[in-house]
Each structure stands twice: as structure tokens, then as C-alpha cells.
Structure 1
Amino acid sequence: MTEDSGDNGAQAIDALLSRSLFLISDGGNDMFDFFLKKRSPFEVPAFYKDLLSNYTKYVKTLYGLGARRFGVINVAPIGCAPAARARSPFGDGYCEFFSNKLARDFDSALGDAMANLAASLPGMKYSVGSPYQLVEYYTAHPEAAGFKVVNSACCGGGKLNAETLCGSPNTTYCAHRDEHMFWDMMHGTQATWIKGAADIYDAPVERGFTSPINFKQLLLDDERAVSAANLLVSV
């Protein structure tokens, strides 16, 4: 390989990276662990600071390697998961308030952090997809989203099928999983994620599922965009 061909190869890689979508999803398990351990509200600021520091580090590292387009998935309303509903002091039909506030306030801070990064990193573009808004909408309008059950898990045991892990002895499975929003005590069904991915991709921004643009706009914002190029970063 000649020096010129090596340079051309490096330029092609840089161009591909700059046009690719880097998807980052982090924080949900941390939030749920914080909730389950009943940690003090006084610990929340330090908890947020650590999570946001990690996000900033990930984005800056990827940017330094050539990434320019970032799709960020914020934290869902974990208080509406069956495991949290089963523990709600207001009864099974209600989402757990504190854990939802924990996620909602973090999501607001994450949006601000991404905006600040985009302002300081030339050429950076981003979209924040919001499972928080999606789950709230699907819960309020289950028929529109194709669901019949939004509060209990398809697979599990006990109250709301959320007191026993799916796959444990004597757990039960629902007959029509695509009618359920939640597969187990914490995670959505395949139907939920398919619907959610479609809404995050191209639903109008005015619906609140993405900000400041949707993922389709992020990928197709100029003629050089490679809409099929997706690099998943699991953090």
C-alpha cells in the first residue's frame, strides 16, 4: 500500500465516522438501582453529577475519534415499570412518583448537557430520543399505540407479574405479548421497542419524543448523510 492510498483510506474512514450515527443509551439501570436501594434524596445531586460526567466523557472521546452525529436515549419513567408500580404507596394503578422525578430531572439535565457540548464542539449534531415521553404517551393512550395492558408485565409472577423475575420457577407468560407494554418487571416488549424506535426516528418533534430534531433529520440533514450507517455504543 502506498502512502497516498493509506492517506485516502484514513480520509475515507474519517468521512464515514463523521456521517455515521453513534447511539448512546445509559442511566436507566443506575436510576432503578438508586430507587430500589432507597437512597436519600440528598444523594441525588452527586448521583446526577457522576452520570452526566460519564456522558460528557463518552461524547468527547467519540468526537475525538471522528464521531459527529450522536443519538442519545434518555431515561424512561422507571416509576411506571411494573416493579415500581407494585411498590407504589398509592396502589398498583399508579406510577411511583419519586423514581419518575429522578428520571425526569436527569433527562432535563442531560438535554442541557448535550446542548452545551454541541455549542462547544464544532460540527457536532445530536438528537435526544425520549422513552420518558413515549412511555407517558403510550400509558395515557394505549389503544393508539396498540396496547391493552400497560401496568403489568407479560412474564413474571406475583403482583402485576413484577415480584418474580421472568424465567424463575413458576413464572407465567401472557398469551398475547404484543398487547403488553412491558415484557418483564422492568423492560418493554418487542412491540414497545419497535413502536418506540419508529416514533423516535421520524415522529414530528412537536410530539415531544425527540429534541431538538428527530433521528431522521439527524441522519439526513445534508446530502452526504449515510442513513444506513449505525454504530451502537453500549455504555
Structure 2
Amino acid sequence: MATIIYTLALVLFVVDLSYFGKVACDNSALGASFIFGDSLVDAGNNNYLPTLSKANIKPNGIDFKASGGNPTGRYTNGRTIGDIVGEELGQPNYAHPFLSPNTTGKAILYGVNYASGGGGIMNGTGRIFVNRLGMDVQIDYFAITRKQFDKLLGASQARDYIMKKSIFSITVGANDFLNNYLLPVLSIGARISESPDAFIDDMLSHFKGQLTRLYKMDARKFVIGNVGPIGCIPYQKTINQLSENECVGLANKLAVQYNGRLKDLLAELNENLPGATFVLANVYDMVMELITNYEKYGFTTSSRACCGNGGQFAGIIPCGPTSTLCEDRSKHVFWDPYHPSEAANVIIAKKLLDGDTKYISPVNLRQLRDL
């Protein structure tokens, strides 16, 4: 099992190579992208972990041109949302996974990806996968990168660069429900001892601390995705034996409850952390729009996984070499039982880049870059 489609945790850390050696402030350029979150935006960190959550097997990446169609550890057939956003904003290269041996020296100036399949806000999230990088560890790793920026640019320029030309985009939270609170059998004890309200309180308390840590390391521009309609993914529909137009009510109810509280938290941080801009990406409504009106966007199904096996919607066994593969990958909203296809990622990314306040507020990503 991999993690999920939703939360949009992209931490984009914007660096312009023309800056090196001078204190330039060309706010129209996006250079480096520093991405935090879960499998929605993991670009290969889990390849370097002894973990059950991996996507470095075919046919994952079959449409990823940069690798010639070979798997890279991305949990989709092509580009992630973070890849697409970076391209659209002018980033010259994709952000390297932090754990890759190649992520050293000037390579980090294009950006670093800290995301990890199975990761969540809570440290216990994803333990079923044995290993994964939770948000606390991802931010620990960013602290290492932050010191490297000082060495590469000098302390003053690095601080100015990070504060003015960096977008921190974070996609996290779905696993805290699916692979923690709602996990069959393993989570029963937690659910008996902790109400949904208390669990969400705990999540948001941890998340507030994590975002504040990034702020203290000079992060100022944030885009944070809420949790998508996790009750509507092929895995949930399949194991609960739902019809094509049904979703799991409890999972979606928890997502909506968390999302409302997240909105309040970001408003609080905008007010209390001077100079910071926290942008909320309304992933829930974006993905629900694709699922509900899939034909409008050129898809033939929003229920069945393109790559997977088991049940009515190919939603039980993750994508791998023995999986059934659909004929036209661009016609499926979901690539596998958990994650969107590249075609869906393109639509979501465009709403993040240029959408109105229904989907991203108070500003979209192009506007955030130019602040």
C-alpha cells in the first residue's frame, strides 16, 4: 500500500540561479523547489529506505519523460503535482530527493524534495510500512539543507533568498487518517481512547509546531494542501464494496472536519507570524470536482484504478509488474488504488497556479511567488 492523493504538501523553495554572487530579487523566477509531504509528492526518498511503501517498480513512471519511462519512486505514471508546478513557474530542474546521494553541493540550489510515501504529521503515522519520513524528520532534514545554504550563499544572502524567493508547499494529513486513525485492527485501541475531535486536535497541535519550526528557519511563503476526499479513492471503494458513485462517509467526514480546523489554524498563523503568508490549497474540493464531473475533464472513470488488481475498481493490490494496466492512462483520474494519474495532477496543478479563491486562497501560486 502506498499513501494517498490528497493533502497537497508541496514545500516549494524558490531559488533563482541568477541570484548567486549578487543580491538580486527577480521575483518572476522560480528556481528551487523544496517539497514536503507524503506519497503524492515523493520523488524517490523511499527508494533509500527499508520500507514496504515503494514505487520504484514498473509500470510506475511509465509516462515520466525525464526517466525515459522508468520508475523513479514517484507514485504515479508521470509527473507529480510538485513537478508540474515547478515546470510552470520556470524551475530548471526537478527537486532532488533529500536521501539521494546526488543531492549535494550546488545540486540543492534547484531544490530538495523531503516527501515520503507513508509519511504524516504524527510520528506514529505509517508505521505499518515499517519505515517512512514523518514531518518532524523531514523538517530535521531541511535544517541540514538550511545550513548548507548558508555555506553556499553566505548567511545574509541565504536568509534573504529563503525569505523572499522561497515557497514552502506542504502536502500532508491524509495518511494520519488512512494509515493511522482509521487503520483496521492496529488503530482500534487509539480510536477507543481518543475521539475524532481529540485526534484532530493532536494533529493540528503538532502541525502548528512544525510550521513554526520552518518559520524560525526563515520560511515565509507557504502553500498547504488540505486533505482530499479520502473516502472516494479506489482502495476505499473496493474494500468497502461500494458502488461507483458512493464514497466512505466516515473518512470524508474526518477530512472535512480536519480541513475546517486547518483553515482556522492558517488564519491564526497569518495573523501571529509577522511577514509570513500561509496559502490554503483546497484539495478536497479540487479532487471532488474531478471525481464528480470526470467526464467534463475528459476522463472515462473516476472510480477504477488504471494500475492495480482486486475487486470491482482494481483497488486492493498496489500497482506493480503483475498489475492489470488500463489502455489509456489519460482517461483515468486515479493511477493506482490511492494516487491520481498525471492527467489529474496536471488539472490540479493548474488550479493551484492560476485558480481563484474557491480552490486556493488568499492568493494562487503565481501570485504567491511574486509577493
TM bucket (normalised to shorter chain) is: 0.7 to 0.9
Secondary structure of the structure 1 residue equivalent to 2:318: coil
Point out the structure with max Rg over C-alpha: 1
For 1:15-61, what per-residue CA distance to the aligned partner results, in whole angstroms no more than 9, with x for missing partners?
A: 11112101111111111122332754852122212221221112111
Secondary structure of the structure 2 residue equivalent to 1:126: strand
1:218 is matched with: 368
TM value normalised by structure 2: 0.54
For 1:52-102, what per-residue CA distance to the aligned partner results, in whole angstroms no more than 9, with x for missing partners?
A: 122111211111111111010111110010111123465343111110011
Q: Which amino acid aligns with 2:364?
A: N
Gaps of 5+ in 2: 1-150
Secondary structure of the structure 1 residue equivalent to 2:236: helix
Q: Distance in 2 between matches of 1:84 and 1:161?
A: 11
1:21 aligns with 2:192: no
CA contact (8 A) 2:307 2:319 kept: yes
Compare 87-96 and 117-126 and name the one that shifted more. 87-96
1:158 is matched with: 310
Q: Which has the higher helix share?
A: 1
CA contact (8 A) 2:239 2:316 kept: no
Q: Relative CO higher for 1 or 2, CA cutoff 8 Å, sep ≥ 6?
A: 1
TM value normalised by structure 1: 0.83
Secondary structure of the structure 1 residue equivalent to 2:154: helix
Q: Which has the higher strand share?
A: 1
**Aligned pairs, how many?**
212
1:132 aligns with 2:279: no
Change (3 A) 1:174 1:166: same
Gaps of 5+ in 1: 1-5, 222-235
Q: What is the CA-CA distance between 1:136 and the residue it aligns to?
A: 1.0
1:71 is matched with: 223
2:199 is matched with: 47
Secondary structure of the structure 1 residue equivalent to 2:195: helix
Q: Which amino acid aligns with 1:69?
A: K
Q: Distance in 1 between matches of 2:210 and 2:183?
A: 26
1:11 aligns with 2:156: yes
2:354 is matched with: 202
For 1:195-225, what per-residue CA distance to the aligned partner results, in whole angstroms no more than 9, with x for missing partners?
A: 11111111121xx21122222222223xxxx
CA contact (8 A) 2:230 2:251 kept: yes
1:228 is matched with: none
Alignment of 1:78-157 (within 5 A): 78-88=230-240, 90-157=242-309
